[in-house]
A and B are shown apart, each in its own frame.
Chain A
Amino acid sequence: AQSVSQHNHHVILSEAASLELGCNYSYGGTVNLFWYVQYPGQHLQLLLKYFSGDPLVKGIKGFEAEFIKSKFSFNLRKPSVQWSDTAEYFCAAVRPGGYQKVTFGTGTKLQVIP
């Protein structure tokens, strides 16, 4: 079965620290990948996405992610986190085209300490 794994469940960082959240997927073949963010009290929103092309994708608020096909990974990074980045982050994957369901990881809660 297709699955998405996020190995970091809860991450605590000080402001200005660098962030990397892991995401691995089990799909074979072509896959579209996403990172969504859920700030406290807000709805889930798209942070960034990868469909094809340059494996390093940039999203909103200084986030980026790198698609490494050989490792089935799509890790999220930010060079310097801010207190406002405190949120829950979800990785998601789907096979493009057709009628495919989107699969989410279990999420990573990031807490940034001022």
Chain B
Amino acid sequence: DGGITQSPKYLFRKEGQNVTLSCEQNLNHDAMYWYRQDPGQGLRLIYYSQIVNDFQKGDIAEGYSVSREKKESFPLTVTSAQKNPTAFYLCASGISGGGTGELFFGEGSRLTVL
């Protein structure tokens, strides 16, 4: 079954701790994205990557970091510098470089900072 797998589904962390959210896709897509979803604010782009070993900051990149060492994987680290990390995080993938922009989403990871 082709798709996007995010883990963990729920995560709790203490203030001051870094946490890494996993995103894996087997759709053979070049582009991968991380969005943050907050009530009333829709989806805001954190980081995106159009190709392996390259990524760009989105609209709210501060306090987050990513890597793209493999085509299939695009992990997101929420660092202690992120002032309000409690949120629902969505990973997506799509075809880049001439693609239509259609995105395929994972089921999300809900992070709660205690």
Report if A22 contacts B (CB, 8 A): no
Looking at chain B, what size class is its interface with the partner chain?
20 to 34
Chain A residues touching B, majority SS: loop
Binding stretch for chain A, among B17-25, B62-70, B77-85, B101-109: B101-109
Looking at chain A, what size class is its interface with the partner chain?
20 to 34
Summed over the interface, the residue pairs from A and B with CB atoms below 8 Å come to a total of 69
Enumerate chain A residues within 8 angstroms of B44, measured Cβ to Cβ. 104
Enumerate chain A residues within 8 angstroms of B50, measured Cβ to Cβ. 99
* Pair B101/A94 contact, Cβ less than 8 Å: yes
Starting from the known contacts A90-B43, A97-B98, A101-B48, 15 additional A-B residue pairs (CB-CB under 8 Å) come to A43-B90, A43-B105, A43-B108, A44-B103, A49-B102, A92-B101, A97-B99, A99-B50, A100-B101, A101-B33, A101-B45, A102-B101, A104-B35, A104-B44, A106-B40
B interface with A by C-beta (< 8 Å): 33, 35, 40-45, 48, 50, 56, 58, 90, 92, 94, 96-103, 105-108
